[in-house]
A = this chain, B = another copy of it.
Amino acid sequence: MESKSSILDCNRFNAEDELSLPPEDLELVRRRTKVLGSSYRLFYRRPLNLIKGKDEYVWNVQGEKYLDMYNNIPSVGHCNQAVIEAVNEQMKKINTHTRYLHENIIRYSENLLALMPAEIDRVMYMCSGSEANDLALRICMEYTGGTGVLISQEAYHGNTFLVSSISPSIGGEQKLLESSRLIPTPDFYRSGKSDSEFTEWYCKKIQEAFDSMKACGIKPACFIADSIFSSDGVHPEPRGFLKAAVEVVHKNGALFIADEVQPGFCRTGDSFWGFLRHGIIPDLVTMGKPMANGIPCSGLAGKHEILESFSAKFPYFNTFAGNPVSMAAAQAVLDFIQQENLLEHTKTVGAELLKSLREIQGRHPMSVGDVRGAGLFIGFELVKDAEKKTPDQKLTIDLIDGLYKRKILSSNAGPYGNVLKIRPPLVFKSEDIDWFASAVDETLTELGR
């Protein structure tokens, strides 16, 4: 099985690929290299210079139209008109911060909390999912007095010093928090277990991790998880297994943080939040990416008594967070979701897409190991051998390349980089399925698989 570091380096531009670029892109790439820090990576061996977007489509500078099967930030569609107008209207009035009263943050908070279980009754705002998870972790540590954090084996929770240390998927030389413990990826596909056996196994792993902590004198603080397990390779099933796990977490005196940056805002089609699919009431909920359709905005909702344990000891102010313009954008997203009934749409069109991809699996049974998903978050897992379920990262990269040639944006995920991550804007339509499904089918055939 391929190592993690090789995954990081696939599906990206490298300097030696320069000559394949059109002259206008080559010039931009060269200018870019001269000014941006070396951490920056471009998607694709031939990077895309996107200059126009509408709904689930984007166009490059050469005028070619692409179907976006990857980007979850513009969840109500690239260039959503309602969001553009809301931002423009608010920018013309005023943009300040949370130390002045403003209707926008209050109204949005009321609307957002109305979508949460009653126990989750307060919300705070940040600028990024990283900031939300950073604060959530600190709050859990403060409330419990513990430092022990359970994380999924391939989790990604952000880029600050603290949350990088609970993000094993970063790889490289990233060190993990000493008081953290890893829970195995919930790989139901490879488990060979029934739903109940799987849930039991997962709960046992959680308990073992707490036991290991306690043996080292570490007091438990929390389990943080993205309930769709995005960077672990997309694992929605068996539905409800996380509920049992969270019960174990609570029994051990720890809290559960639902990291909704990926599954939140209707993505899974089953419910507004990913945690609701599993029937969980979290202690804290963090959210980000699709929240304001690309205007930087993130949030942390939670039970008031937990937030108070932190606020009693520490002031917290976040300059840009919760400003009237970001809140106007977030409100427009929420309104659009509700007016267009995007939850129902995501469920319906997601099920159609899943069905279509399972038909493709039927035509390529040795190479497509598993197709799983919830709503418009689907994992399409590629293997060398369907019996042994050996991950095939190379095939995945070749498939992404083939899709790119057929004008489709996609990417991969999972511990072995062999899961095609399918996560289009939620305005993705039934009519788009054929473009995508044919491209997948044709590429696999072309690759002799």
Contact = CB atoms under 8 A, between A and B. Distances in A.
Interface in A28-48: 28-29, 31-32, 34-43, 47-48
B102 A49 contact: yes
A164 to B, nearest CB: 8
A96 B50 contact: yes
A119 to B, nearest CB: 14
Nearest to A174: B314
Interface stretch (A103-111, A206-214, A440-448): A103-111
A100 B314 contact: no
Nearest to A113: B35
A28 B294 contact: no
A167 B101 CA distance: 26
Contacts of A326: 296
Interface string A300-329: 101010011011111111111101011000
Interface stretch (A85-93, A185-193, A269-277, A335-343): A85-93
Q: Tell me what chain A mostly uses at the interface: helix, strand, loop, or mixed.
A: mixed
A171 interface: yes
Contacts of A170: 314-315
Interface residues of A, number: 102
A179 to B, nearest CB: 13
A68 to B, nearest CB: 9
Question: Which of A40, A41, A164, A307 has most B Cβ within 10 Å?
Answer: A40
Contacts of A287: none
A6 interface: no
Interface stretch (A154-162, A380-388, A400-408): A154-162
> How many monomers of this protein are in the complex?
2
A372 to B, nearest CB: 25
Contacts of A123: 35-37
A115 interface: no
Interface stretch (A128-136, A350-358, A391-399, A431-439): A128-136
B53 A93 contact: yes
Nearest to A49: B101
Given A78-B95, A159-B317, 7 more contacts: A35-B123, A39-B124, A39-B307, A39-B310, A51-B94, A84-B91, A295-B295
25 contacts: A28-B103, A31-B106, A31-B110, A32-B101, A32-B106, A35-B106, A37-B124, A38-B308, A38-B312, A43-B99, A48-B101, A49-B102, A50-B100, A58-B94, A73-B319, A127-B127, A128-B318, A131-B131, A137-B161, A173-B313, A174-B314, A288-B319, A295-B320, A296-B297, A296-B323
The 9 closest A-B pairs by CB, nearest first: A161-B162, A296-B296, A127-B127, A296-B320, A35-B109, A53-B94, A37-B124, A49-B101, A39-B311
